[in-house]
Amino acid sequence: MASSSTSTETQVKQELQTKASPVQKIKLHKCHVLMLGAKGTGKSCLSSRFATSLYSPLTDPTIDDVPTSSITFDNTRFTCHYLDVKSQQWDLLEGYVSSSDAVMLIYSVTDRDSLEEVRKLGEAIRKLDDEPNGSTSTADGKRGGMRDGNGILVDPNGPNGPSIPNGRGSKLPIVVIGTMKELDEERVVEEEEGRGVARGLKCGFWEVSAATGENCERVQEALCRVYLARFEEERERRAAEDKGKDKGKGKQKRGCVIL
């Protein structure tokens, strides 16, 4: 009887502690992910896998059909929108990059030419990202950053979270992805070759399989973590700059009073 009573008291205490524990607020982020790669590399199948956790080999999305997935980690929830850009639209690359928060460069392990295409695309994006005035910023000076479901920039002070301001330190997060990992007999690109291209672009690397789902969740989380880290770095940098400007204004005012 004593043992039963003690057990009941312990259970009641645990319930009270649970009720008294403060509820952590989930941070919300929206992330527009640009998917680039040669035709036949499985971009559509991969974005469908991200959105539905299912394999859809006959997927043929349009510009109005943007797969969306939800990822939660470290008390942060990401809603990711995946835009699959076809090769004939690459002449508009700068515009697509400017309205994106992150980029997936996709090649197939069964197609060596597709890896070379990824390298060229990555170098072009890095060149845009390195330009002094930030070609990858929008007209109002912000990176494509957080947007609503219609692609409209979210108010930096609004409920859906801020966007990343463009400037030093705000490199666009990129990941190189080798698809069709399950096709070992048809492989012509070794994993280390893909990793080498990613290393040259200073970005992450994963081999995945849309068919089996291998590494699909992991690559999404990895890209979002890089984005979040860049977001925090840029926010701190901007805060430090603003603080420096405020100090400068204060000194100027005191100087005027003395004069």
Q: Is 6 among the domain residues?
A: no
Instruction: Give φ, ψ of 113 to 5 degrees.
Output: -60, -30
| Cα separation, 41 vs 114, whole angstroms | 7
pTM above threshold 0.75: no
Using one digit for the tens of pLDDT, what is the confidence trace for 29-48?
Answer: 999 999 999 999 999 999 99
Q: Is 10 among the domain residues?
A: no
Q: Is 84 among the domain residues?
A: yes
Using one digit for the tens of pLDDT, what is the confidence trace for 185-225?
Answer: 999 999 999 999 999 999 999 999 999 999 999 999 999 99
Nearest Cα to Cα of residue 224 among 55, 85, 115, 74: 74
Q: Is 125 among the domain residues?
A: yes
Residue matched to tokens 């999404």:
220
- 97 touches 46 (CB < 8 A): no
Burial class (CB in 10 A: 0-12, 13-18, 19+), 248: exposed
Using one digit for the tens of pLDDT, what is the confidence trace for 43-97?
Answer: 999 999 999 988 877 666 555 568 899 989 889 999 999 998 877 676 788 888 9
* Total structural domains within the chain: 1
- 85 touches 36 (CB < 8 A): yes
Q: Is 31 among the domain residues?
A: yes
Q: What angle do CA 137, 143, 145 make, to 5 degrees?
A: 155
| Cα separation, 221 vs 201, whole angstroms | 20
**The pLDDT of residue 19:** 52
Q: Is the pLDDT of residue 156 over 70?
A: no
Q: Is 11 among the domain residues?
A: no
Q: What is the CATH number of the domain that holds 171?
A: 3.40.50.300
Q: Is 254 among the domain residues?
A: no
Range of the domain at 108: 25-249
Q: Is 114 among the domain residues?
A: yes
Using one digit for the tens of pLDDT, what is the confidence trace for 104-118?
Answer: 999 999 999 999 999
Residue 140: pLDDT band by 50, 70, 90 thresholds?
Answer: very low
